Amino acid sequence: MEKYKCKSVGIIGSGIQGICIGLQLIKKGIPVTIFDRLDPLSLEYKSASYGNAGHFSPYAVLQFNRTDILTDVPKMLLSSNGPLALKWNHMLKMTPWFFHYLKNFNQKSMLHTAKYMHQILSLSNDAYEDIFKEIDMTNLIEKKGIIYVWTNKNLKSRELEIKVRNDLGIEQKLLTQKEILELEPNLNPVFDAGVIYEDAMHARDPHGILKKIFKLFLSKGGKFIQENISSLKQSNVRETIIKSEKNEYTFEKSVIATGAFSKNLTDQLGEKIPLDTERGYHVHFKNMDHLVSRPIIFLDRGFGMTPMRQGLRAVGTVELGGLKNPPSKKRIEYIVKCAKELLPQLEEYDDEWLGFRPTLPDFLPIIGPSLKNKNIIYAFGHHHLGWTLGAITGKIISGIVAEEKTNLDLSPYSSKRFN
Ligand SMILES: Cc1cc2nc3c(=O)[nH]c(=O)nc-3n(C[C@H](O)[C@H](O)[C@H](O)COP(=O)(O)OP(=O)(O)OC[C@H]3O[C@@H](n4cnc5c(N)ncnc54)[C@H](O)[C@@H]3O)c2cc1C
């Protein structure tokens, strides 16, 4: 029997998922067109994949459906000056998300999420290394690990994280305050201890890396069309139609990789997927990247700093507020305050940015075919870890498109869990 070969694929979204999927497909000899309303090579491009903290975090298996924070969440939501915030006008719209979140807020779901995040996270760095072999990565990546610091206030949470990671065999090295200061002497010692993930790496310019992967995709024959996509459907067994306001395109298969914006398209396909967004922010302290050698995350504050080409990028907070609310000045002020607490020498900042983490209420992404339209494939919902998971998602989705066998258990990532 002749081996199946997909004739054409349309990908909606040129974030890190869309671009990595495109690259893997074109490498298999399948013609691909990526659509995005923004050109990844332009200055206007400001997706989540542009402004994130740049951590490649294969260890980050625990997410916010963790049992230790159950009593803290309402308290944090009511405080306007903490790491978690809520835009009250979005509450009603978020009801389905909260409903599923509460269902997943237990020990069993927490460990299920950790196990299946680990399955893909443990492959994530190798998947990137394969791509990086084909790109000049000079000054784009640093391999110095990532440090998390904490105070002794929430030690129960720290113990839980350490145990879950130990159980999964994830390497972690606990550090005393003194050891942290030896590695990062400029830090103000307002923390008590921490951990370093020595195998972790960070991007010195996430957008710069994304542009390089995108150019590699184009150089191999991939196509890009800058248009806003308004609808998508499967018209018959071997045909999907992507429509923009002006044009209509036909492909054998299509992929939805529009991050936090994917719900608009999946609703049209008749699937009830409770995707929402955790909004996050960044600012840059220009020319201050020399103050730390690697990313530092202050767990008690829900914020972190990454040394980048653009300066020291201070990033963080989770704001539940949907896609349409304007940015919140208070969130920016919070991040700036946290950064200055760790590095009092910081002064002026600029480049205020708001980004949308695509988050499902069980904190697993959706990677796999649509339930009703088998030629439409989903690749979204990577929440806090979409940058880390871009390359491995590209590999998995390209395998699904090409109908290849895999040893991975992909069933936990199916949208079936919500339908
Ligand atoms: C503050 C912050 C910090 C983060 N830090 C990290 C980190 O350190 N490490 C990590 O692993 N992850 C991190 N993340 C998460 C990560 O950035 C995201 O999960 C990831 O970028 C999502 O990638 P994506 O390709 O799914 O979506 P996106 O990057 O959002 O791309 C989606 C694309 O789809 C396009 N699009 C949407 N709708 C349409 C339409 N209808 N028609 C045409 N185009 C459309 C958009 O223009 C966009 O370009 C962070 C996120 C935030 C917000």
CA of residue 251 to ligand 1 center, whole Å:
24
Question: Which of 49, 57, 63, 282 has the alpha carbon at shortest distance from 147?
Answer: 57
pTM confidence score: 0.97
pLDDT digits (tens, 9 = 90+) for 312-356: 999 999 999 999 999 999 999 999 999 999 999 999 999 999 999
Choose one of 33, 50, 357 to mutate for the ligand 1 pocket test, by most ligand atoms within 8 angstroms of C-beta. Answer: 357
Atom of ligand 1 nearest to the CA of 230: 41
At 357, is the pLDDT very low, low, confident or very high (cuts 50, 70, 90)?
Answer: very high
- Work out which ligand 1 atom sits closest to the CA atom of 316: 1
> What distance in Å separates the CA atoms of residue 34 and residue 284, rounded to the nearest whole number?
30
Q: Got the DSSP string for 119-164?
A: HHHTTHHHHHHHHHTTS--TTTEE-S-EEEEE-GGGHHHHHHHHHH
Tell me the two tokens of residue 60. 């980050």
Between the CA of 16 and the centroid of ligand 1 the distance, in Å, is: 7
Q: Are 253 and 23 in contact (CB under 8 A)?
A: no
Residue whose CA is closest, atom 31 of ligand 1?
15
- Rounded to whole angstroms, the Cα distance separating 149 from 29 reads 46
Ligand 1, atom nearest to 16 Cα? 25
Q: Tell me which residue has tokens 């990595």.
A: 20
| Residue closest to 390 by CA, chosen among 40, 22, 8, 9 | 22
* Residue given tokens 């298969």 in the structure block: 253
Which atom of ligand 1 lies at the shortest distance from residue 38's CA?
Answer: 47
Average per-residue pLDDT in the chain? Answer: 95
- Residues in contact with ligand 1 by the CB-under-6-Å rule are 12-18, 35-38, 47-49, 52-55, 57, 228-229, 257-261, 280, 282, 315, 355, 357-358, 380, 382-388
Ligand 1 atom with minimal separation from the 13 CA = 34
Q: Say which DSSP state 68 is in.
A: G
- At 7 the three-state DSSP class reads coil
Which residue's CA is the nearest one to ligand 1's atom 19? 386
Instruction: Measure the CA–CA gap between 225 and 266, rounded to whole angstroms.
Output: 21
pLDDT tens profile 259-315: 999 999 999 999 999 999 999 999 999 999 999 999 999 999 999 999 999 999 999
Nearest CA to ligand 1 atom 35: 13
Over residues 28-56, mean pLDDT: 98
First to last CA, the chain: 35
Q: Using CA positions, which residue lies closest to atom 16 of ligand 1?
A: 386
User: Which band of pLDDT confidence, cut at 50, 70 and 90, is reported for residue 73?
Assistant: confident
